Amino acid sequence: MQKIRNIAIIAHVDHGKTTLVDKILHACSIFRDNEQTGDLILDNNDLERERGITIVSKNVSVQYKDVKINIIDTPGHADFGGEVERVLKMADGVLLLCDAFEGAMPQTRFVTQKALALGLKPIVVVNKVDKENCRPEEVYEQIFELFFNLEATEDQLDFPVIYGSSKQGWMSTDWKVPTTDIFALLDTVVSTIPPAPTNDGTLQMQITSLDYSSFVGRIAIGRVHRGAIKENQPVTLIKRDGKVVKTRVKELYTFEGLGKIRTTEVKSGDICAVVGIDGFDIGDTIADFDAPEQLPVIKIDEPTMNMLFTINNSPFFGKEGKFVTSQRLRERLYKEMEKNLALKVIETESPDSYLVYGRGILHLSVLIETMRREGYEIQVGQPQVIVKEIDGQKCEPIETLIVDVPGEVAGKVIELVTQRKGELLVMEPKGDLQHLEFEIPSRGIIGLRNNVLTATAGEAIMAHRFKAYEPWKGTIPGRLNGVLVSMDKGNTTAYSIDKLQDRGRFFVDPGVDVYEGQIMGEHIRDNDLVVNIVKGKALTNMRASGTDDNTRIAPAIKFSLEEAMEYIQADEYIEITPLSMRLRKIYLTENERKINSKKFQ
């Protein structure tokens, strides 16, 4: 029997996965006593730390009572489901984390379904039992019901439950009896999760993840499914489409703690990193040199949304970014496709524009934000859902939307969702909140979050997941108000903004460079209005009799990238550079907009 356990940690976003991994790393003493580690050790890129979410799955390994436990920390957000689907292939069991108050959320259902379908053994961890209003017993019942509805096997339904608080660093089999450590969880992992199977025979290993090093290039990561892989061994790389490439393993690493250590041989069941194989993609199989056999290719759910990515052609192009050409944009998008399986890039009729398909607004915005930080200047269009024809009927993606909201504003939320063709399915109390469940077209969710948060004074908790393709639900009203568009190029003045405040709310401050066709703010009516925002006060050599008017300007509205993506309409772009984000019309002059207005109706 091998003393290896491979587990993936899955949960809805913000239920405490990465915090739990921190505590496991500390409990297994992989750090020196005087080492400064900080929190959320595995969320190691800037975007993950700023947003407080996991975007890319990570592998770590700990030693506990002479057993090696390989842990895979997965993202919790539905938009990164593609990341979860492929790494579950490396695991033999899953730790399903659940918040003791929130219970099973939409994303919990999504990843649990994938894990149960792969036949993985689950352990349920009811986390955050130190919270007020927590209801661990109810959550346990809810999880059991979820497993039953997802057609879990009898063995999977007989899952152990651990209660505790990752933040306070304790786990116990009884939530009323707190302990001082998390060893109850590690003991359960060792006793419940089946040991990694040893399959004798010729080599088979599927690449489920990749790493990059500036010294050795791309590194293939996966679990050895059968046989053993050795350093300097000649192997066959079988591509997803069945093409065969002869190659050789140069170096071999296994995971230990947060890093990797070099080794000469890895047997089946263990997770390893292979250096020296060129031209591989995720889902390819590394097989025996003489008698290669392919493993089943990883199937990833289809994307549900696309956006147009194009080069920056605004009057301010090239001022802030390093990479501004279409060649650079193309290279970067195709490079992203290698590791981001849920992403698809399609070339358009224009050599400067590409249609990028993704899982949702967050999935695409993380790509845009990463490119911006790398020095790219790009423009993106309005997100569009992907429409399919099924049995001769026009169909669109439908999502399950869950909103937890204070009771007194539940009516406003129901009104907003039903305006966008949403259908209320469930309404029940949950603690001091109302729990609402809807079915709504994906189109209806674009731009909904801002409206719901405004209507509920920021108190709504929203989550959604893709359900299925269903017949087209009809037209959904877009943005209710028009925009204020600049008619001239120059510096914005406080004088102009002050005089135009009764026309709408502004997105720019005084003293900012703007160009003709840039969107300055939101109009109070439903039509667009062209305004002169760069005009200064006419000065004379006469002394003013009495005091001049003091300008009092309302603070400018600042959008986040996701909010801007949800805000723009079909005839608008977001211009994104390393230092700025601007909203603009596709056609900058008023005359061009009138000529091309029919295109966007």
DSSP designation for 78: G
Three-state SS letters, 442-498: HHHHCCHHHHHHHHCCCCCEEEEEEEEEEECCCCCCCCCCCEEEECCCEECCHHHHH
Query: Is there a binding annotation on residue 17?
Result: yes
- As a whole number of angstroms, the distance between CA 355 and CA 344 comes to 8
Q: Rounded to the nearest 5°, which phi and psi values hold at 168?
A: -85, -10
Closest CA to 38 of 24, 14, 22, 21: 22
Q: How far apart are CA 72 and CA 57, in angstroms?
A: 7
Give the separation between CA 449 and CA 433, rounded to whole angstroms: 18
37 is in an annotated binding site: no
Q: Count of residues for the chain?
A: 601
For 440, how many CA atoms within 13 A lie in the half-sphere containing its CB?
Answer: 28
> Cβ neighbours of residue 331 under 8 Å, at least 6 residues apart?
none
b/e string for 116-136 if b means 16 or more Cβ within 10 A?
beeebbbbbbbbbbeeeebbb
Q: How far apart are CA 593 and CA 467, in angstroms?
A: 38
> Is 409 flagged in the annotation as binding?
no
* Cα angle 393, 399, 404; round to 5: 155
Cβ neighbour number for residue 341 with a 10 Å cutoff: 19
Strands (E), 67-202: 67-73, 93-99, 121-127, 161-165, 170-172
14 is in an annotated binding site: yes
Amino acid at 153: T
Answer yes or no: are the C-beta atoms of 485 and 518 closer than 8 Å.
yes
State the burial class of residue 335 (Cβ atoms within 10 Å of its Cβ: 0-12, 13-18, 19+): exposed
Among 551, 548, 576, CA closest to 562: 576
Is 16 annotated to bind a ligand? Reply is yes
Instruction: Using CA atoms of 225, 230, 231, 233 in order, give the dihedral in degrees to the nearest 10.
Output: -100
Burial class (CB in 10 A: 0-12, 13-18, 19+), 285: buried
Could you tell me how far CA 264 lies from the centroid of its own chain?
A: 36
- Whether the CB-CB separation of 537 and 589 falls below 8 Å is answered with no
128 in a labelled binding site: yes
Structure tokens at 510: 């005084």
Does the annotation flag 18 for ligand binding? Answer: yes
How does DSSP assign 542-575, residue by residue? SPPSSPPPPP--PPPP---HHHHHHH--TTEEEE
278 annotated as belonging to a binding site for a ligand: no
Q: What angle do CA 363, 478, 386 make, to 5 degrees?
A: 45
Residue list, annotated binding site for GTP: 14-19, 127-130
Residue list, annotated binding site: 14-19, 127-130
